[in-house]
Amino acid sequence: MRSFTLRLLAAPVLLCSCMAVQTSAAGEVVVAHVGPFSGPLGVNGLANLEGSKACIAEANAAGGINGNTLRLVQRDDEYKPEKTIALMREVARGEKPVAFLNLLGSANASALLKDGTLESLKIPVVGVTPGADVLRSPGSPWMFHVHASDNVQLARIVQHLSTIGISRIAVAYQDIPFGRGGMEFIQGVAQKADVAITKSVGVPSAGEDFTAIANDLRQSNAQAYVMILVPNSGAAFAAQVRGAGDATPMYGMSYVPVKGLIDKAGAAHSVGIGVAQVTPNTDSSSSALIRQFRSAMERYAPTDTARTQLHLVGYLNCRVFIEGLRHTGSAPTPDSLRGALHKLRVDLGGYLVDFAGGNVGSRYVDIGVVTRDGRLQY
C-alpha cells in the first residue's frame, strides 16, 4: 500500500514535468528580410515584403510550424550593396534568424558572393531576384533560387519571337552584372534561333534617360525590342519609346511590373507589351497556389494592398521557406534548414519546386501581354 501511495504522489510530478517539456518546446523562429524598401527598387522590395508578411501571418494563424511561431524581421538596405552586407551581418548577430528571404538586386547579391558573407554567416537565403545566372553558377550553397533564371526567361522570349516570325531584334540591357550576363546569353540563343540582333545598347544602373537610345533603336531596323532592364528603367524605356511615336513591339523580363509600365507610359502605350513571367498569373484563379495567395492577402494584408506578381514572389519565397522548415523539427537551425531545402520537392498548387541536386527550384516561364484594362493575359 505504501508503495502504491508513493506512485500516486509521484504521478502528478511526472505529468507536470511532461507538460513543462511540451511547453518549452514551443518557441519563436525568426526569419529576416533585408531588402530595398526605398530607392529605385523600393516598389519591388515592399511588394515582396507584403507578400511574405501575409504568408507568415497565414502560417501563424494556422498554429505556426512544428509548434513554433514565426517572426519576420525587416531592414531597408536602400538598394545599396554595402548596406546589404552590413545589415545582414547585424541582423544575424542580433536576431539569430534561421533564414533570410527575398534578396533583391544583382549588385547586392554579387557583393554578398564576393564578400563571402553567406559562407561566413552560414544562414540560407530563400528567394533571389534577379535570376542572373552569374549569381547561380557557381553561386553559393547557402543561396536558394526559387524562380527560373534570367537565361530561361530570355530563351523563352527569343523562342516566342522566332515562332511568330520575328527575325530582327534590338536589345537594351542594364550595364550591371544582371544585364551584361543577360546580353551575353541572348546573343548565343538568338543566333541558334536565326534571330539577328541589329542593335544593343547599355543602360546605366537604374538609368531613366532613353532619349538618345530610343532614337538609336528606331534606326536599327529591328522588328521587336527586348529589355533586359530593372523595373524603373524598363518602365521609363517603354514610356519614352512609345512617347516618341515608336510602336515597335517590345518584350521585358519579369522584373518590370505592369503598374510601373502604366504609371510611366500610360495605359494606351502599355497595351501589347510582352512581359516574361516566372509565376502563375495572379489575375487567374486556375491554380491552387493563386487561390491560396489571394486568400492570404485578403485576410492578412492591409485592405488597399495590391495583389501583383511581385507580391506573389514574396509569398512564394516564404512558402518555400516554410516547406523546408516543416522538415527541421521543433528546434530548427540554419544548417538543418539548408539540409531540408536541398532535399525539398513540393508542388505548391500548380507550381513545382525541386531543389534536388542543386539550388534552383523552378524553370516555370510564360509570356504575359498587357491588356487594355491594365492586366497581364497569359
Q: What is the pLDDT of residues 193-238, one digit of tens each?
A: 999 999 999 999 889 999 899 989 999 999 999 999 988 999 999 9
Contact criterion met (CB below 8 Å) for 18 and 284 = no
How buried is residue 196: exposed, middle or buried, by Cβ count under 10 Å (0-12/13-18/19+)?
Answer: middle
Q: Which of 12-26, 139-153, 313-327, 339-353 has the lowest mean pLDDT?
A: 12-26
- pLDDT (0 to 100) of residue 205: 87
In this structure, the answer to whether residues 247 and 287 fall within a common structural domain is no
Q: Sorting pLDDT into bands at 50, 70 and 90, what band is 14?
A: very low
For residue 40, name the pLDDT band (cuts at 50, 70, 90): confident
Residue 47: pLDDT above 70?
A: yes
Examine the domain organization and report whether 95 and 188 are in the same domain.
Answer: no
161 contact partners, CB below 8 Å, separation of at least 6: 169, 193, 195, 224, 226, 251
Q: Around Cβ 96, how many Cβ atoms within 10 Å?
A: 14
Domain boundaries, position 166: 151-277
Residue 45: inside a domain: yes
What pTM, to 2 d.p., does this model score? 0.83
Q: For residue 342, which of 152, 140, 149, 153 has the smallest C-alpha distance?
A: 140
Q: Is residue 19 part of a domain?
A: no
Number of domains in the chain: 2
Is 200 part of any domain?
yes
Within a domain: 106:
yes
Beta bridge partners of 35: 76
Contact 249, 119 (CB under 8 A): no
Cell output for 84: 546589404
* % the chain with pLDDT above 90: 81
User: How would you classify the pairing of strands 250-252 and 274-277?
Assistant: parallel
- Does residue 170 sit within a domain? yes
d(CA 224, CA 21): 65
Entry field: residues in the chain: 378
Q: Return the number of other C-beta atoms located less than 10 Å from residue 127's C-beta.
A: 27
Radius of gyration for the chain, computed over Cα atoms and rounded to the nearest angstrom: 23
pLDDT of 4 higher than 80? no
Residues 206, 218 within the same domain: yes
Q: Are residues 304 and 197 in the same domain?
A: no
* pLDDT tens figures, 261-290: 999 999 999 999 999 999 999 988 889 999
Are 158 and 271 part of one and the same domain?
yes
Strands 28-35 and 376-377, sheet pairing: unpaired
- Is residue 33 a contact partner of residue 102, using CB atoms and an 8 Å limit? yes
In a shared domain, residues 160 and 206: yes
pLDDT in tens, 59-115: 999 999 999 999 999 999 999 999 999 999 999 999 999 999 999 998 999 999 999
Q: Residue 23 domain-assigned? A: no
Burial of 46 from C-beta contacts in 10 A (0-12 / 13-18 / 19+): buried
Look at strands 250-252 and 376-377 and give their pairing. Answer: unpaired
Query: Is 293 part of any domain?
Result: yes
The answer on 338 and 310 residing in a single domain is yes
pLDDT of 174: 95
d(CA 10, CA 182): 70
Same domain membership, residue 270 and residue 157: yes
The model's confidence at residue 26, banded by pLDDT at 50, 70 and 90, is low
Residues 120 and 237 in one domain: no
Residues 207 and 293 in one domain: no
Same domain, 119 and 97: yes
pLDDT band at 25 (very low <50, low <70, confident <90, very high): very low
Q: Record the cell numbers describing residue 370, joined without a space.
A: 498587357
**Measuring CA to CA, which residue among 363, 313, 258 is closest to residue 35?**
313
Q: Is residue 361 part of a domain?
A: no
CATH of the domain at 288: 3.40.50.2300
